[in-house]
Structure 1
Amino acid sequence: MKGLIVGLANDQSLAWGCAVALKALGADIAVTYQNDKARPHVEPLADELGAPIFLPLDICRPEQMDDVFKAIEARWGRLDFLLHSIAFAPKADLQGRVVDSSPEGFSIAMDISCHSLIRLARRAEPLMPDGGAILTMSFYGSEKVVPGYGIMGPVKAALESTVRYLAVELGGKAIRVNALSTGPVKTRAASGLSHFDDLLVRAADETPLKQLVTIEQVGEAASFLLSDKARFVTGQTIYVDAGYNIRGKR
């Protein structure tokens, strides 16, 4: 398998858990980093993966996105899977009330966290002539109100809806598109949420399995969904959260 992982930030990232699991399956993995500040944190991980392609990718810069896919085409001639693990909102909008969110902040959150999947999928499509798999990351706050999740709730809801539409539009080419909804995981991105530590404590107590999901477990689920073993699974939001989503009022 030849795949691209976008959103790897450090060894606590969900994307890292996925990369390790995919590498264990024998996948060759292209890795991107956001900017020069992020590179020192990502490059050692890319080296550990033996990544043959390691390039900068600011998701808001289309020329960098084009360069990444040109490099993939030149090196491999194809792409079997794409993992999108990106989410961002300006701090003031993320930690405030949804009703107080700024138009600019909401637009930025939607563009980086949701529309970036569309831009990546559009470029991946020509490199998947014999089919492929696309996977993104979501959270239960897309479906129910989770205190402290703020505008990321509506944004993730849009992301999950986008997954369904992409699945239909790309399905005729045997390209599958799914979302993986994880339980709360202590990543750098999640630490920006208000009251996140309280959410971790509640989730550990309220999940049926009485424990938090790990990036390794997320990786195992991702590697299944991106493999041929899940070749008839598409347009789905799959939960890997120790049962967190089945509980009632929190």
Structure 2
Amino acid sequence: MGMFDGKKGLILGVANDRSIAWYISKFIMEQGGVCGFTHLPDKADDERKKNRMRVQKCIDDFPQQAKFLVPLNVQSDENIAEVMALAQSEFGQIDFLLHSIAFATLDDLKKDTIETSREGFKLAMEISAYSLLAVCNAAKGILKPAKLSDKREVVESGAAVLTLTYYGGERIVPGYNVMGICKAALDSCMKYAAYDLGLHGIRVNALSAGPLKTLAGSAAGVGDMQTVYDQMSPLQRCVTHEEVGRTGAFLLSEMSEGITAETMHVDGGFSEMGSPGRMLDKYRSK
């Protein structure tokens, strides 16, 4: 038996086969879970439908587990409601929801943070942070509530929500710029959503991965950060997509039923370092 046998949920925001969200959902489906997927809407003049095509290629190997693939524009409450209605018609209640959605214009990302445009800031915050609140609110009617005994013991686990964040929302990471501010806001949105949904036994957490080669990571200079993590982290290496995927799946499973409002770091311990650590060895005189 797989750890997700009989479980159903939504995966919002897979971009391609290097996405952290894909590695999480891939593990879930390998463990028996059934998923509905959304993708970034394609432009009207894009005849190849590139965004849809990239995700379709990922899920083609899981015809039984991947139940649908539809576009989602998180700037539209109507579109969010349509996706939730589709999930309800397909699954009834859902056991998990993965939120992997973030965006800032490349022009704003390349600028010093204080030079971020007003419109660019609003756009980045709406898509990257507010969207978690909008999605949780729209999904609250289909997220499975927990069942408790008279002694407040869990009889049946409630649904779990997971969002993807990054260390640049906690500390200054040069090059991450306005997205770091968005991740700080996302982290706070996660905690308040955890409080609101906790009344129903629904958990909300965040996963903060070390630098990985993803579409978003490429825009933030992941290559340089990986070198730093290799030398500074206690494990002396970067983590892998597979390691992050398994941890994300854990946070969406019943195995983490006592965890909520938490940000779990999967970064080889880098986020706990208070100094460059062993990196200093090369600068010390022999």
Paired residue total: 249
Q: In 2, Cα distance between the equivalents of 1:12 and 1:129?
A: 29
Q: In 1, Cα distance between the equivalents of 2:254 and 2:51?
A: 32
Tell whether the 8 Å contact from 2:95 to 2:144 is kept in structure 1 after alignment: no
Tell whether the 8 Å contact from 1:34 to 1:56 is kept in structure 2 after alignment: yes
Could you tell me which runs of 5 or more consecutive residues in structure 2 were left unpaired when the two chains were aligned.
Answer: 1-6, 42-48, 146-157, 277-286
2:121 is the alignment partner of 1:121: no
Q: In 2, Cα distance between the equivalents of 1:133 and 1:235?
A: 11
Tell whether the 8 Å contact from 2:109 to 2:176 is kept in structure 1 after alignment: yes
SS at match of 1:83: strand
Tell whether the 8 Å contact from 1:16 to 1:215 is kept in structure 2 after alignment: no
Instruction: Give me the identity figure in percent.
Output: 40
2:151 is the alignment partner of 1:145: no
Q: In 1, Cα distance between the equivalents of 2:106 and 2:274?
A: 29
Structure 1 residue 129: Cα displacement: 4.1
Rg larger in structure: 2
Q: In 1, Cα distance between the equivalents of 2:222 and 2:92?
A: 42
2:103 is the alignment partner of 1:76: no
SS at match of 1:126: coil
Q: In 1, Cα distance between the equivalents of 2:62 and 2:189?
A: 30
Q: In 2, Cα distance between the equivalents of 1:82 and 1:48?
A: 21
SS at match of 1:58: coil
Q: In 2, Cα distance between the equivalents of 1:9 and 1:142?
A: 21
Q: 1:3 aligns with which of 6, 9, 24?
A: 9
Structure 1 residue 102: Cα displacement: 0.9
Please report the TM-score for the alignment, with normalisation by the length of structure 2: 0.84
What letter matches 2:105 in structure 1? P
Q: Which runs of 4+ in 1 moved over 6 A?
A: none
Distance 1:71 1:155, change over 3 A: same
Q: In 2, Cα distance between the equivalents of 1:94 and 1:249?
A: 27
* 1:136-171 deviations in Å (ceiling 9; x for gaps): 011111111111110111111111111111111110
What letter matches 1:204 in structure 2? D
Q: 1:220 aligns with which of 246, 262, 267?
A: 246
Q: In 1, Cα distance between the equivalents of 2:137 and 2:29?
A: 25
* 1:15-73 deviations in Å (ceiling 9; x for gaps): 11101111122110111111233011111212223311211112223332222111111
Please report the TM-score for the alignment, with normalisation by the length of structure 1: 0.95
Structure with more relative contact order (C-alpha pairs < 8 Å, separation 6 or more): 1
Q: In 1, Cα distance between the equivalents of 2:102 and 2:275?
A: 26
Counterpart in the other structure of 2:258: 232
**Equivalent residue runs for 1:1-250 within 5 Å:** 1-35=7-41, 36-50=49-63, 51-130=66-145, 131-193=158-220, 195-249=221-275
Structure 1 residue 174: Cα displacement: 0.6
Tell whether the 8 Å contact from 2:212 to 2:222 is kept in structure 1 after alignment: no
Structure 1 residue 249: Cα displacement: 5.0
What letter matches 2:107 in structure 1? A
